[in-house]
Structure 1
Amino acid sequence: MQIISDEKIAEFKNFLEQHDFFYVIGHKDPDGDAIYSCMALAELLKAKNCSYQLLSAGPFKRPEIRSMAIFFSNQMTFLSEPERQKTGLIILDCSEMSRLGEIDGDLSNLDTFIIDHHKTADVTKKCIIDATSPATACLVQQIYEKILGTIPKKTAEYLFFGLSTDTGYFRFLNTDSAEVFRQAARLVESGANPRKTYDEMTGGKPYSTRKLLGIMLDRVERRYNNKLAVTYETMEDTKKWGQEGRDSDSLYSLLLSVDGIEAVLFVRQDTELTCTCGFRSRDKVDVSAIAQKFGGGGHKNAAGLSIDGKCADVLEKICAEFKKVL
């Protein structure tokens, strides 16, 4: 992970000074990093006496973020045209407007600043982007510390949670992560509780998610010399078992622990005409490059996308790209 340059920090401070109001938003179907990065950024704005609104298209399906839903809205505060001219849009944990989802209001043509850590992020706009950072929360922490200094307890808890969720509670980190642990140590010094965070991340899963996980595992096929694990979820599955608290992380973790598996592909039929796809891999396979070919994105070892089509057809299309790699 890189240290954000003073020039980039100055660029963000200048962005704050140029606006009277801010919309703060992360990607649709948010995870812990997206939500808690937004919460921590809101604390920075509050400390700077800046007016803001937290936006999210939701849904807040994951148990670990459900309690945060009350702080977000999918309806923009109405602003007159002169007020919009002095309004800034801060996007966290993604860079594409299409990934923000359905928001009641017009986010277009607002002066925008992006804070993101995805490999496929759009670097053409005003931004702080570091694909070597394991979480957007790490970037928000640096921004807060460089602008305001020591992080208070509540903000430290938000940032530690965001970092923990995106690193699989530090399981995905490599030997280049010393700075990440130094940042995590400062958060603990400020009051973040590692044990409490882990319990909140891993507990509270509905019984239905265990049943659905069993179905996904039962359907797994191995392809290309058993290097790719493939499974899927139908609309009937979703209707029967619901989508509250789904636990895809456990699915990916279990499959990647199988000897010889280098990548995992999961496809869910969301509607009659659309699917959501999730990819995970070990070190060698860059799943973000495959996702990007279908309009998605992410990291080298974790990516996803939404795509038009039927589950069986989508699965075969994407498998064809994995075949070229594996």
Structure 2
Amino acid sequence: MIDAILRAIGQGRTFLVASHAHPDGDAVGSTLGLVNCLRDLGREAVAFNLDNVPANFAFLPGAQSLLCRPEDLGRYDVGFVLDSGELSRAGSFLPLHCRQVISIDHHPCSERFGDINYVDEQACATGALVYRIIHAAGFPVSADVALCLYTAILSDTGSFRYSNANPEAFQIASSLVACGISPWYVAENLYESRPAEQLRLLAIVLETLAISPCGRFGSVCVTRDMLLSAGAKPEDTDGLINYPRSVRGVEVALCFRQTDDNRFKVSFRSKGKVDVGALARGLGGGGHHNAAGATVDGDIGQVKCQVFARLNELLPFS
């Protein structure tokens, strides 16, 4: 599969690199890592996402040149769609702009929508798959490429705390640090540069912290009114789910974020015993065993009732 991707790179001159909407660190880092690598090779490469780069990833090289409007896209020899188990998450229109589509992903139940599909569910991050391609080709790894891919892996492994922090994650991270990047520089931008509005939002949201009677799952809730009161943005909700997850005994953490009058985006995090990816897919969403999400219609009471009912079926109580 890597050989086929390298042939496509060798034969192409113009490239589009996209990832899923509402991008996380792996989506942004792998996209910009591949774009910077292609540019280093003298290729024309464009980064695209339906949403802007979150503020805490704006330090990554190439972030300011990312396109967000479909009407700004041209025609490309090759289109890479990264970290998207479903084409619709990145943009169903993308193949119309590309002669060939290559999907690179590590999500379970990936759609395999590309002409070439490089999917490895065991990979710690899509950034690791991009690194494998670059390494196999012997392409030079510039400081810009290393910074982006290191950030992708660091983000998706929870700073190497999650179960997907496998030996390859540490091996790749070590090689990228050897390229001259500063782990502190990345950590400072990701974890030590929060806007005050985010902390104000945290203070409000923690008032909603709820632990189930069994103690096996916990949740927080974010409404549009809370965002308005704190002067915060939707991207400032990143990381809030880690607070219920950190409670002793909690196996599954949830964050309910209001996106419309009667619609909530529900994020799930598992400590390993519960497959929240299956839970999310049952609600029309998707994701991994330990991290997933779905959008559910209804008021907060209805949404919680529906989600908790499904969760109770998955959690074996004794």
Common topology (TM > 0.5): yes
Between the aligned partners of 1:19 and 1:321, the Cα distance in structure 2 is 47
Aligned counterpart in structure 1 of residue 172 of structure 2, from 163, 183, 199 = 183
Equivalence for 2:129:
139
| 2:215 counterpart of 1:221 | no
CA contact (8 A) 1:205 1:245 kept: no
Matched, 1:12 2:5: yes
CA distance 1:121–1:253, change in 2 (3 Å): same
Tell me which of 122, 144, 149 is aligned to 1:154: 144
CA distance in 1, matches of 2:194, 2:308: 31
Whether the 8 Å CA contact 1:268–1:275 is kept in 2: the answer is yes
- TM-score normalised per structure 1: 0.87
User: Does residue 64 in structure 1 map to residue 54 in structure 2?
Assistant: no
Aligned counterparts, 1:1-326, within 5 A: 8-65=1-58, 69-76=63-70, 77=72, 79=74, 84=75, 87-100=77-90, 106-109=93-96, 110=98, 111-123=100-112, 125=114, 126-173=116-163, 177-223=166-212, 225-241=214-230, 242-243=232-233, 245-249=235-239, 251-326=240-315
Cα distance in structure 2, aligned partners of 1:38 and 1:234: 30
Q: Deviations over 1:135-181 (max 9, x none)?
A: 1111111111111344222211111111111111111146x722221
Structure 2: gaps of 5 or more residues: none
Distance in 2, matches of 1:188 and 1:261, equals 34
**Is contact 1:61-1:243 (8 Å) kept?**
no
**Residue 307 of structure 1: how far off its partner (Å):** 3.5
AA partner of residue 147 (structure 1): A
C-alpha separation in 2, matches of 1:203 and 1:301: 25
Letter in 1 for 2:168: E
C-alpha separation in 2, matches of 1:275 and 1:253: 18
Work out the CA distance in 2 between the residues paired with 1:246 and 1:185: 30
Asked if the contact 1:224–1:323 (Cα under 8 Å) also holds between the matched residues in 2, the reply is: no
* TM-score, normalised via structure 2 length: 0.89
For the residues of structure 1 that align with 2:66 and 2:262, how far apart are their CA atoms?
29
Q: Sort the Cα spacing of 1:246 and 1:78 in 2 relative to 1 into closer, same or farther, 3 A.
A: closer
User: Are the aligned partners of 1:114 and 1:128 in contact in 2 as well (CA < 8 Å)?
Assistant: yes
- Give the AA of the match of 1:263: V
Q: Percent identity between the aligned chains?
A: 27
Count the aligned residue pairs: 309
The alpha-carbon deviation at position 199 of structure 1 amounts to 1.2
Which residue identity does 2:133 align to in structure 1?
I
Specify the SS of the correspondent of 2:260: coil
SS in 2 for 1:63: helix
Deviation readout 1:274-301 (Å, 9 max, x if unpaired): 3211101111011111111122111111
